[in-house]
Structure 1
Amino acid sequence: MDEKIKNKITETVQDLLRRVGFEGEVRLNESLAVVDPDNSTNNSRASLMVASVESENDLSMLIGKNGQNLSAFEHIARLLVSRNVSITASQSPISFIVDINDYRKSRTNYLVDVARNVAKRVIQTQRAEALLPMNAYERRLVHTELATFKDLQTESIGQEPRRRIVVKPSLPL
């Protein structure tokens, strides 16, 4: 990603943060441990730009329940960056996520732990188990994590916003 686009992402997130009444420092870094939400054809982990917002202030209102407000903030930031940066046909679309006070990082760790624990239970009991509803990004993260378990299958069921993952034992061949 070129420097001009990186600067635009940082400026846009900083400006949007200020406009919604919050203060914080925005830093852009590349992460290899995040599932790319725009990569719908490949279940592998990919590098992705992360606009990290750090603040001494309480930003829980900006994060919202299960990160819903953060997802909306991120969506608006992506729209603003896309509108203000021209992309040639040879360039890939601008993709980045916004993380506030390491919320996404801790949520990712939590979801991976939950997924692994459910996977162990399903393997042990040979009974399917449904996880709580999650957004598309979180479901993709869980599907990717559990793809390493050869004795399991995962499936998303239901309609948004109640869409969830069912973890079940693989059918014997």
Structure 2
Amino acid sequence: MSETIPQLADETTASAETTTADVAPEETTSAETATPDSAAAPESARSVTQLEEEGEIAADYIEELLDITDLDGDIDIDARDGRAYLSVNSSQDSNLRLLSKPETVNALQELTRIAVQAKTGVFSRLILDVGGSRQTREAELSQLVERAADRIEGGAQSAALPPMSSYERKLVHDLVAARGFVSQSEGEGSDRHTVITRA
């Protein structure tokens, strides 16, 4: 029986929710034990040009939102690992932090994906970051993995993390593999989560 690792105290439940748009193929760990999510087709056929086009459409959408809300932000576009990445940051003291809460970023990401899909006709796996929110979330996931690893090293057979999106589970799989443990995704829909065991 696996021990469940509770979410961090300041972590919002919204950042752990999985939406239909988030379901995507999982990358396996070095031990090839991560379970793939079967609800979406592989996105490896997407070219860098197509991903950059997604990024441009998304940037226009976010820029219009920033204008409407009278917020300042610099937008950077990147394309890697079969996804378009959009980062919104500000070099000056602005109210951009109003949009950087995890639940707000997730909602904006879904709206941006819909805007991209409306123009391209293709499902988008775009990742949006506002004010370093993704980096903050990655640090939280690292702490969860550390706590899970400590429990296993302390004698637990396995440790289950809270449900989270496919993108976050991919990050967890990488963190777990780097620690020399094995992870796999279990459950369905909004209950899909990662279970960590010894290699």
Q: TM-score, normalised by structure 2?
A: 0.58
Task: Tell me the equivalent position of 1:121.
Answer: 151
- Asked if residue 17 in structure 1 is aligned to residue 66 in structure 2, the reply is yes
- Asked if residue 30 in structure 1 is aligned to residue 30 in structure 2, the reply is no
Task: Give how far 1:158 is off.
Answer: 6.6
SS in 1 for 2:129: strand
Matched-pair contact (CA < 8 Å) for 2:109–2:128: yes
Q: 1:140 aligns with which of 165, 170, 188?
A: 170
**CA 1:108 to 1:47, structure 2 compared with 1: closer, same or farther past 3 Å?**
farther
Task: Tell me the equivalent position of 1:62.
Answer: 99
Task: Find the aligned partners of 1:158 and 1:57 in 2 and give their Cα distance.
Answer: 40
More strand by share: 1
Task: Find the aligned partners of 1:103 and 1:31 in 2 and give their Cα distance.
Answer: 18
How many aligned positions are there? 148
Task: Give how far 1:163 is off.
Answer: 4.4
Task: Find the aligned partners of 1:60 and 1:100 in 2 and give their Cα distance.
Answer: 8
CA RMSD of aligned residues (A): 3.1
Task: Find the aligned partners of 1:145 and 1:95 in 2 and give their Cα distance.
Answer: 21
In the TM superposition, 1:1-173 aligns within 5 A as 1-2=48-49, 5-19=54-68, 21=69, 23-30=71-78, 46=81, 48-55=83-90, 56-64=93-101, 67-85=102-120, 94-148=124-178, 151-157=181-187, 160=190, 163-170=192-199
Tell me the alpha carbon deviations over residues 91-141 of structure 1, each in whole angstroms, 9 at most, x when there is no partner. xx6542111111101211331243144224314424322223433322232
Q: Please identify, of 100-109 and 21-30, the stretch whose mean Cα deviation from structure 2 is larger.
A: 21-30
Percent identity of the aligned residues?
21
Q: Which amino acid aligns with 1:16?
A: L
Task: Give how far 1:61 is off.
Answer: 4.3
Task: Find the aligned partners of 1:4 and 1:24 in 2 and give their Cα distance.
Answer: 23
Q: TM-score, normalised by structure 1?
A: 0.65
Task: Give how far 1:50 is off.
Answer: 2.1
**CA 1:28 to 1:75, structure 2 compared with 1: closer, same or farther past 3 Å?**
same
Runs of at least 5 residues in structure 2 that lack an aligned partner in the other structure: 1-47
Task: Find the aligned partners of 2:188 and 2:70 in 1 and give their Cα distance.
Answer: 35
Matched-pair contact (CA < 8 Å) for 1:126–1:169: no
**CA 1:169 to 1:48, structure 2 compared with 1: closer, same or farther past 3 Å?**
same
Task: Give how far 1:81 is off.
Answer: 1.9
Task: Find the aligned partners of 2:125 and 2:188 in 1 and give their Cα distance.
Answer: 27
